[in-house]
Structure 1
Amino acid sequence: MELFIVIMAGGVGSRFWPRSKERKPKQLIRIFGENTMIQDTVKRLNGLVENKNIYVITNRLQKLRIKEQLPDIPEENIIDEPFGKNTAACIGLASIIIKQKNPEAVTIVLPSDHLIKNEEEFQKCLLNSAKFAYESRGLVTIGIKPTRPETGYGYIQFDEKEIENNIHKVLTFAEKPNLSTAIRFIESGDFLWNSGIFIWRVDVILDELKKYLPEHYEGLLKIESAINTNDFESQLTQVYGQLRSISIDYGVMEKADNVYVTKADFYWNDVGSWEAVYEVSEKNEDGNVIIGDVYSEKTYNSYIFSPRKFTAVIGAENLIIINTNDALLICNRNYAQDVRQVVDYLKMNNRTDLI
């Protein structure tokens, strides 16, 4: 069994504005510690696979920075999509490229911008899932035991009967629920958060794409025929322009009958907003997370980031304050998900200098 890693790194991180921009989004900035999020994603794979078996799928705006941040990953393994077409296209593209190396390879598909702790358990979970995926020809995903009725995550309902070594059959996938539905999911005890991590054989996922997304599959065959030729870039651009934008969850996982889930024994957070960053960051005695040149007085339970400008905050509570060279965000923590609306506004008003 040969393992390959596919890191999906094409997102723009609009909920992390103004630090996250199209050319330098969430996965390429330092949010926790000295490394960027994509550097931490690669670092936690140490010892699991060689660097030559790690592929990064990104876009043309971000490719250069990714090459700079991941100098040990072969340059030819950093693949740029001509257009963002969601995860089904991204995974299909990676699969046909890896198929050239080993058509029975097991690929582990990871987002580039999640926070994961306890790397030993993480690797153990991946290896166990990979072994099962290789032998069973199943599609495996990793589920996270919920700690609260979260409305920002998708959910996976699983059969409590264990097939083998913490592998369970998936019964249903559920989209992001409202609060009452999320509470019901938690109380039932047979729902997990959907981590967005997948493990499968290359030949199996391509068969599933052929079955459930035949237009994608036909396009992938055209791209595959041009691999290692001078026509690859033009064929890739032409095919991608015609592909429907659809997620692998909706396009394949919700329809396939050979889908399994393993329950994670490691800490996971998708760090989907500034509120999530606040939640997992170390706080001072006033409940504040302060980064940079900041004076605070009678200020509580806030996240304040201002490394390059002196910022004074007095009599504030429950705020996110992000002060960069060219923009200032002040947001109630309860509305952190709405930061993406600022990016939409800037796009509509052609303020490309700020995005």
Structure 2
Amino acid sequence: MLHAVIMAGGSGTRFWPLSRQALPKQFLTLAGERSLIQAAFDRCQPMILGERFWVVTNESMIETTAEHLPEVPKTHLIPEPCGRNTAPCVGLAALLLAQEDPDAIMLVMPADHVISPIENFQEAVLNAVNVVKKDPEQLVLFGVPPTSPATGYGYIERCTSISNGVFKVASFREKPDRPTAEEYLQQGTFYWNCGIFVWKAQTILNELEKHQPEIFAQLKQLQKSINTPAWDSALAECFPKMPSISIDYAVLEKSKKIAVVEAPFDWDDVGSLEAMSRLNSTDENGNTVIGTACLVDSKDNIVRSSTGHTVGLLGIKNCIVVHTPDATLVADRTDENAIRELVAALKEQGHHNVL
């Protein structure tokens, strides 16, 4: 049976001051009327019912996750005692899934992407599921055809065709420099790796056993405590001992049976505040305004204001301005990644009330 696993453990520091420790990016509403994590749930309906959803998140976020996704059983909200990247996250979900449904197929996806149209997404998922049903040892990735020479994504190179829209994977490429990304774009055999996967729960556990014995050893230890009063203490002891490593490095770049489905949908990883420009309309001067603002002689800015607050810009270009009730950000739009440095500085200088 097909289950969905949402990975929701990120902090989203590049979205400060909208994103905070108590309200990470996945709980923000950046497009439409639902939060990002709710949109991840919605795009699987009615293909996967709420009772077959699982969410792996920070243990401090369990209650907030339950509020956003009341359709998901609370027993399927899996708390991570600490951050350990995606390989331990996927392994933990697979362990619990395989216990409940030995034949489970997992759709694994991040909580904070924007994807449309839903119909095309579901079509691609079912295509991947059919690949896994024909060959249960296959690990299936989704590859997004690149629309620009982006340097912020990893790339997947395809080779021979398996079926319509599905290919064997020839190689994985790290985030390239600009000339290399332009070459990938011209070749037409490369995809952006969007971090969405389909595979059998037991298969990914077998791959972890083969390629990541340290992680698998802790999972085996945990297995003894599933559905017992000792589960919470066992998880608190075993999970932090797992190496912090992505599922890509841990398994996918080592496995021999990897396929990629060419994504027939539009995808945005919503990696930073710049996404607000892509997800919302712009005026004739290239400004994106969410909320109330008055802009004079200002071009190519992103402005977001909180309810009832008016932001005024005069003679400003290429800036990001975000107002919240207790913190305001003004940043150079061309160096938005430096927001992480600002968050680090806020922490170092003791501004914990706004983190």
Smaller-chain TM-score bracket? over 0.9
> Equivalent residue for 2:21?
22
Q: Which residue matches 2:214?
A: 215
**Aligned twin of 1:328:** 328
Equivalent-residue separation in structure 1 for 2:264 and 2:32 (angstroms): 23
Instruction: Give the secondary structure class of the aligned counterpart of 1:230.
Output: coil
Report SS of the residue matched to 1:22. Answer: coil
For 1:354, the aligned partner's letter is V
What is the CA distance between 1:34 and its match in structure 2? Answer: 1.4
**Other structure's SS at 1:287 match:** coil
Supply the AA of the counterpart residue of 2:66.
K
Residue 243 of structure 1: how far off its partner (Å): 1.2
Q: Where in structure 2 are the equivalents of 1:175-190 lying within 5 Å? A: 175-190=174-189
Q: Which whole-Å CA distance do the structure 2 matches of 1:351 and 1:209 have between them?
A: 41
Q: How far apart in 1 are the matches of 2:60 and 2:342?
A: 21
Instruction: Output aligned runs, 1:1-355, within 5 Å.
Output: 2-136=1-135, 137-159=137-159, 161-308=160-307, 309-355=309-355
Cα distance in 2 for partners of 1:330, 1:310 equals: 15
Please say if residues 156 and 171 of structure 2, whose CA atoms lie closer than 8 Å, have aligned partners that are also in contact. yes
Contact 2:30 2:279 survives alignment (8 Å)? no
Shift of 1:17: 0.5
Q: CA deviation at 1:74?
A: 0.9
- Deviation track 1:31-62 (CA, whole Å, cap 9, x = no partner) reads 11211111111011111111110000001221
Following superposition, the deviation at residue 9 of structure 1 comes to 0.4
- Normalised by the length of structure 2, the TM-score is 0.97
* Moved beyond 3 Å, runs of 4+: none
| CA RMSD across the alignment | 1.1
Contact 2:276 2:288 in 1 (8 A): no
Q: Is the 8 A contact 2:31 2:279 kept in 1?
A: no
1:333: how far off?
A: 1.6
Q: Which amino acid aligns with 1:188?
A: Q
Write the distance in 2 (CA, Å) between the matches of 1:167 and 1:151: 24
Cα distance in 2, alignment partners of residues 10 and 301 from structure 1: 32
1:255 counterpart SS class: coil
Q: Do the aligned partners of 1:134 and 1:200 also contact (CA within 8 Å) in 2? A: no
- TM-superposed CA distance for 1:280, in Å, is 2.8
| Post-superposition CA distance 1:53-101 (Å, at most 9, x none) | 0000001221111111111111111111001100000000000100112
Contact 1:300 1:318 in 2 (8 A): yes
**Shift in Å, 1:350:** 3.5
Give how far 1:279 is off: 2.3
SS at match of 1:100: helix
Deviation at residue 344 of structure 1 after TM alignment: 1.8
**Residue 25 of structure 1, CA deviation:** 0.9
| Number of matched pairs | 353
The residue type paired with residue 71 of structure 1 is: P
Q: Is the 8 A contact 1:9 1:112 kept in 2?
A: yes
Q: Please say if residues 56 and 79 of structure 1, whose CA atoms lie closer than 8 Å, have aligned partners that are also in contact.
A: yes
- In the TM superposition, what is the alpha-carbon distance from 1:349 to its structure 2 partner? 3.0
**SS across alignment from 1:311:** strand
Structure 1: which amino acid aligns with 2:337?
Q
- In the TM superposition, residue 348 of structure 1 has moved relative to its aligned partner by 2.7
Maintained 8 Å contact 2:3/2:105: yes
CA distance in 2, matches of 1:346, 1:316: 25
Instruction: Tell me the amino acid that sits aligned with residue 227 of structure 1.
Output: I
Deviation of residue 276 (structure 1)?
2.3
CA separation in 2, counterparts of 1:101 and 1:149? 43
Q: What percent of counterpart residues are identical?
A: 37
Instruction: Determine the C-alpha separation between the residues in 1 that align with 2:25 and 2:238.
Output: 28
Q: 2:225 corresponds to which letter in structure 1?
A: A
Following the alignment from structure 2 to structure 1, what is the Cα–Cα distance between the partners of residues 100 and 225?
15
For the residues of structure 2 that align with 1:109 and 1:190, how far apart are their CA atoms?
24
